[in-house]
Chain A
Amino acid sequence: MGPNLWINYGEAVAAILFCIGFTNLLLQTNLIKKIIGLNIMDSAIYLFLAEKGYIAGRTAPIVTGGVTSVEAYINPIPSGLVLTGIVVSVSVSALMLSLTIRLYIRYHSLDLDEIAAQLKKEGR
């Protein structure tokens, strides 16, 4: 264990959330819950990234009163990256949900293993 675990509690929470999402994605049998797990996993990564940019005692990177000194604002890069990431995760979840609807219409089930068994039974 290194020295910074308690100072980095935000990142630690992000790591725990990431693993919860990961477990959901692996173990849930229900597709909808898998998708929620996926979203939680993504949010955890964004939380991790945003914690990286935070600097105690400084304000959001919007220039106020013409002050453009480094000491006044937090790091803007992680915010930008997270903005991009959120767009990606919303597109991915829309795609997954549409796949879920089609699968349900075809097989009336949300369990991938059950669907796979049905497919094999049909022999196609």
Chain B
Amino acid sequence: MSKRKPAEEYHKTFAFHFFSWLQGEKDPYLGNVEMKPQEEYVTDPEMQLRHEKEHDAILDKVYDMEHNRELKLFHRLYQATSILFCLFLMALLLVTISHLPATGAAVKPVNNEVSARYIESGLEETGAVNIVAGMILDYRAFDTLGESHVLFVATITVLIMLRLDKNKKGEPNPLTKDMNPNDRIYEPKNDAILQLVATFLVPIIIIFGIYIILNGHLGPGGGFSGGAVIGAGLILYLNAFGFSKTERFFTEKTYKWICFFSLSFYCLAKSYSFYTGANHLHSMIPKGTPGAILSSGLILPLNIAVGLVVACTMYAFYAMFRKGGF
């Protein structure tokens, strides 16, 4: 708003009108355009009651799934189309498959130079005896990076759905009552047999999981399967001894930080390797002797990181499903 013009003159300009309209101080139509106030509508309570009843009756009729003919017809139509579509899809896929190259043959498009190089020089280039591990964690590592983030984002969504947070004033979430119906009622509180078996079994399961993780580059296995085994062991422990025991060593904070450190390590390590690879720099990570436990460059640490994330995630899923928290 320019201040050079005197106030009276300014009041006549377009800008003043525009800004005053914008600020909501003045409405140019008020008083200029004839506006007739509407007549007040008197509601008859009896009529209103009848209207409401009719309204409810119509609603009931429309949403009565069992007796509504149109809905039923639509449902039938939907079923028929889906069955037809599925049969069509099956026929299409079978025809397609009959034209594909034969299974088990050695000469076909899939067995080309790509898999040949993975097999022939995989040991030398990645240092991993297990060629699959070498492939997913070195040749095609970007996919695997994406994959671990799929797991991460799934955990985040499960947290959003099921975590029962206290609100600002510290009151418990209104859903808590619904989420925790007395679902342990038929479970033994301290079952001696279960606890004894768990005492023996849980360490074995967890050690087996650790073996799978550490052996991922030497034999079948790897971070994901090992992590899932460890997670299963933790879930067994939780079921045998209850939340009070596990909360001593595993809370949400533990989960958060383990996940954070493992994923950050994964991201940073892979960024280093991508960056050096793309810019044709020499990577400083030693490959080691193939076959030794400390070999194959980044694959072992990455497997450990993935294993930690997966184990914690599986346990977190279970705890979330069970009681909406850790």
Contact = CB atoms under 8 A, between A and B. Distances in A.
A77 B114 contact: yes
Contacts of A75: 110-111, 115
B131 A2 contact: no
A62 B130 contact: yes
Contact of A19 (B86, B98, B123, B222): B86
A61 B135 CA distance: 11
Interface in B210-228: 219-220, 222, 224
Given A23-B83, A76-B135, A55 B111 contact: yes
Contact of B161 (A5, A12, A19, A102): A102
Contacts of A4: 97-102
Interface string B109-143: 01100111011111110000111100110001001
A84 B65 contact: no
B80 to A, nearest CB: 10
Main secondary structure of the interface of B (DSSP, over half): helix
A15 B103 CA distance: 14
A88 B245 CA distance: 31
B103 A54 contact: yes
Interface string B143-160: 110011011011101100
27 contacts: A4-B101, A7-B103, A8-B97, A11-B100, A11-B103, A16-B90, A18-B93, A19-B93, A22-B86, A55-B111, A56-B105, A61-B119, A62-B129, A62-B219, A62-B220, A68-B122, A70-B111, A76-B135, A78-B110, A80-B135, A81-B143, A88-B150, A95-B161, A105-B178, A105-B179, A113-B65, A114-B65
Contacts of B115: 70, 75-77
Contacts of B290: 63
B79 interface: yes
Main secondary structure of the interface of A (DSSP, over half): helix
Interface in B287-320: 290, 317, 320
Contact of A63 (B111, B116, B131, B317): B131
Interface of B: 59, 63, 65, 75, 79, 82-83, 85-87, 89-90, 93-95, 97-106, 110-111, 114-116, 118-124, 129-132, 135-136, 140, 143-144, 147-148, 150-151, 153-155, 157-158, 161-162, 175, 178-179, 219-220, 222, 224, 290, 317, 320-321
Nearest to A62: B130
Given A5-B97, A61-B119, A68-B122, 5 more contacts: A7-B104, A80-B132, A91-B154, A92-B154, A101-B162
Nearest to A75: B115
Given A27-B83, A55-B104, A70 B154 contact: no
Nearest to B115: A75
A33 interface: no
A94 B161 CA distance: 11
Given A2-B98, A5-B94, A80-B135, A70 B119 contact: yes
Contacts of A11: 97, 100, 103
Interface in A47-74: 51-56, 60-63, 68-73
A55 B105 contact: yes
Nearest to B87: A19
B68 to A, nearest CB: 10
A15 B54 CA distance: 52
Contact of B102 (A7, A95, A121): A7
Contacts of B222: 83
Contacts of A53: 110
Contact of A27 (B79, B100, B123, B317): B79
A89 to B, nearest CB: 10
A16 B93 CA distance: 9
Select the residue from A54, A80, A120, A121 with max chain B CB neighbours within 10 A.
A80
